[in-house]
Chains A and B, each alone.
Chain A
Amino acid sequence: GAGVSQSPSNKVTEKGKDVELRCDPISGHTALYWYRQSLGQGLEFLIYFQGNSAPDKSGLPSDRFSAERTGGSVSTLTIQRTQQEDSAVYLCASSLVFRASGGRNTGELFFGEGSRLTVL
Chain B
Amino acid sequence: AQSVTQPDIHITVSEGASLELRCNYSYGATPYLFWYVQSPGQGLQLLLKYFSGDTLVQGIKGFEAEFKRSQSSFNLRKPSVHWSDAAEYFCAVGLSGYALNFGKGTSLLVTP
Binding site for B on A (CB under 8 A): 3-4, 31, 33, 35, 40-43, 45, 48, 50, 55-56, 59, 91, 93, 97, 100, 102-106, 108-114
CB distance from A54 to the nearest CB of B (A): 10
Binding site for A on B (CB under 8 A): 9, 29, 32, 34, 36, 41-46, 49, 51, 90, 92, 94-105
Given contacts A45-B101, A104-B95, A110-B46, 12 further A-B contacts (CB under 8 A): A31-B98, A42-B103, A43-B90, A48-B99, A55-B98, A56-B97, A59-B99, A91-B44, A103-B96, A104-B98, A106-B94, A108-B34
Contact A108/B46 with A42-B90, A97-B98 known, Cβ cut-off 8 Å: yes
Report how far A26 CA is from B112 CA in the complex, Å. Answer: 38
Please name the 3 residue pairs, one residue from A and one from B, whose CB atoms are nearest each other, closest first: A42-B104, A43-B102, A111-B44
CB distance from B6 to the nearest CB of A (A): 8
CB distance from B1 to the nearest CB of A (A): 13
Contacting pair A42 B96 (CB below 8 A): no
B99 in complex: contacting residue of A33, A108, A110, CB < 8 Å:
A33
